[in-house]
Amino acid sequence: MQPGPANHSNSNRLIWLSALQVEIEPILSLLDRKNSICVAGFPGWHGFFHEREMYVFTSGGGAKSCQQALAALLDQWQMARILNVGLAGALNPILNVGDVVVTSRSMSWKSTDESFHPGRLILGARANSHTLRYRADRNSPLGFKTLSGSILSWDELVQDDHLKRELYKRYRADCVDMETGYAVQTCEQRGSPFLGIRGISDLADGCLDQLSPTHLSEAVWHATLVALHAIA
């Protein structure tokens, strides 16, 4: 199946976008009647979850890939709803592996802080909880913490606990990734509804080289479960 032209019904179309293949494997395993598609070189799948139609795509990691993928998808389907699901590293020490941070389209932004790390763009994305369609809950019935929180988008992987502590001290973000802030900017420019959901794969005092396959799988599945709960 190839995607059809943009039309007035696109405001109800749901696009699930993740950076990496590992981040979409759980949702792909749950889709019925799925078939592969491609938009502007970005691979994806069309299918149904409990009769809810959705399109699932990967962009590749980082700001540029995320923005290019979103631009192509929103050229194809104007005003589509964007569900951005993936992994993040904890900055807030209350977060454990497998907890989930939910953020919304309504954000406040930090400007570039040249004095902290020259040449590095910092984006702080903080959810306004009263605007969230999905209300996150620290005592989630799903069995792990979910919270409405702040996601910091950093231009490179944050690989060590020293940098994590400095980022948390300076920005008070709950977690860090490489795409959410840029995805929000693109959706704001296009007028598309946005919901970002991040599973915590590594602790605030941990390093990426300590990341285990079990932690990765747990974080991805929990983010997926929260995303499905949000759209249910």
Could you tell me the domains of the chain? 12-231 (3.40.50.1580)
Contact in structure between 220 and 99 (CB atoms under 8 Å): no
18-62 tens-digit pLDDT: 999 999 999 999 999 999 999 999 999 999 999 999 999 999 998
Higher-scoring residue by pLDDT: 135, 154: 154
Per-residue pLDDT band for 132 (boundaries 50, 70, 90) equals: very low
Summarize the confidence of residues 123-148 as an average pLDDT: 60
Structure tokens at 205: 């005092």
Using an 8 Å Cβ cutoff, are 50 and 119 in contact?
Answer: no
The answer to whether 117 touches 138, Cβ cutoff 8 Å, is: no
**Dihedrals φ, ψ of 136, to 5°?**
-70, 155
Rounded distance between C-alpha atoms, residue 102 and residue 184, angstroms: 13
Which H or E element spans position 126?
strand 123-126
